[in-house]
Amino acid sequence: MEDQFGLNTTTISQFLVGGNWNETMVRQWVPPLLIPKIFSFPIHYQEQTPDEAIWKLTVDGLFSCSSAWEHIRNKGTKSIINKGIWHRHLPFKISFLVWRTLRNKLPTNEKLTSFGKEADHCFCCYRTGEDNIDHIFISGHFANKIWSFFSVAAGILHDHILINMLMLRWWRQEHKIEVQNLLNQLLPLIIIWNLWKNRCATKYGEKQSNIARNFFLILKDTTHLLNTAFPYIQWANDWTDLFRMVEKCRQETMVRIVEWEKPSQHFLQLDTDGSALSNPRKIGGGGILRDHQGKLIYAFVIPLGTGTNNQAEFQAASHGIFWCIQMAIRKFTWKSTLNWSLNGFQNNSRSPGIYSNTSQTTTPSPAIGAVQMHTHLQRGKQHG
């Protein structure tokens, strides 16, 4: 019996009789404290089916290292500071610098003196002081001028407090719209980044601290991130005007039904769209071809270089239409947000970029003329 059973060879089926627990076998091999728990566990017995381990921590029952780690690790309390510095609109280098700053992990004099180096005065101010985290980012003459300038327009009190408390003061500022919240979230981190750049440029480079230059660089970084988040707004180049502009912004929420209309039974339906990050900028497009039951026939996503929204939509549409032609699909409905009629494919060989990604089809006009196709233009306003 001992040769028959072992920790690595025993299966649950060996402890079952007719789909129920073999009480004698269980009591013989299982510790007494676990026996009641085992008998209370239901068995869904399937004859001739091998045992299968079920990992209860995942939905699909499959083991994963990530789920095991989440189960056994000791989770710390969530920090508003840690969550705020890792912002999706913020470059990693800025977030990483702020993270190091909050943990006193920057190569300032207070760190270098622990290795036996003599302490130097700061390199960032007109009035010399200690080259430490507090002086560089908060209490120093240069840092105080920078923070005061931006705090006044934002209506935020600036005084000598810890750097993490200062960030929380900005982040907890009352806001009504998303863009105002974004500005309050990012600006303190951008200021910290530029204060550190100024200190390093002065210490290791040939530049002198310049408040006007840092005002410009902070404003430049801020407007760049705002353009990334809201690319269709022309932001002001002056801080006071920028903040007033943000205050005047109004957030509108529109709710509309988006539904897919099935084509007739003998037709397929091609839906395409394209867009640019800004107009013009990097563009891309995609599309999906389905039958009248919604079954997927073909789907694509393609990068299209640089151009406008209309160019992106036109090239996405041409890619999908020419693919249908090449596959001998003659009956399909084309739906797009494109603001041009089908004549652009037939008569306008100068339409922007129509041939750039369809080099296999050199004479599309006769082929398109043979296709039984209905076009549905959903947008009436040209935006290219």
For residue range 91-101, list pLDDT tens digits in order.
999 999 999 99
* Claim to verify: residue 182 and residue 55 sit in the same structural domain: no
Domain end call among 248, 279, 312: 248
Structural domain span for residue 185? 81-248
* 357 and 237 both lie in a single domain: no
The answer to whether residue 383 is domain-embedded is no
Distance between CA 313 and CA 301 in Å, rounded?
A: 12
- pLDDT > 50? residue 20: yes
Neighbour count for residue 366 (Cβ, 10 Å): 8
Q: What are phi and psi of 285, to 5 degrees?
A: -150, 170
Instruction: Answer yes or no: is pLDDT of 79 > 60.
Output: yes
- Check whether residue 296 and residue 158 sit in a common domain: no
**Is 266 or 360 the better-scoring residue by pLDDT?**
266
Q: Does position 344 have pLDDT exceeding 70, yes or no?
A: no
Among 22, 37, 72, the domain boundary falls at: 72
Pair 137, 206 in one domain:
yes
Query: Is there a domain that residue 384 lies in?
Result: no
pLDDT (tens digit per residue) in 235-264: 888 888 888 888 888 777 788 887 778 888
**How many structural domains does the chain have?**
3
Name the residue among 316, 324, 314, 312 with its Cα closest to residue 300. 316
pTM exceeds 0.85 for this model: no
Q: Would you tell me how many other CB atoms lie within 10 Å of the CB of residue 257?
A: 4
User: Does 333 reside within a domain?
Assistant: yes
3-state SS assignment for residue 39: helix
Domain-located, residue 22: yes
The percent of residues above 70 in pLDDT, for the chain, comes to 80
Look up residue 280 and give its DSSP letter.
S
Q: In terms of domains, do 107 and 194 share one?
A: yes
Distance from CA of residue 354 to its chain's centroid? 31
Query: For the chain, how big is the Rg over CA atoms in Å?
Result: 33
Residue 28 falls within a domain, yes or no? yes
- Give the angle 305-311-317 at the CA atoms, nearest 5°: 100
Angle at 6 between CA 12 and CA 38, to 5 degrees: 35
Residue 97 and residue 178 in one domain: yes
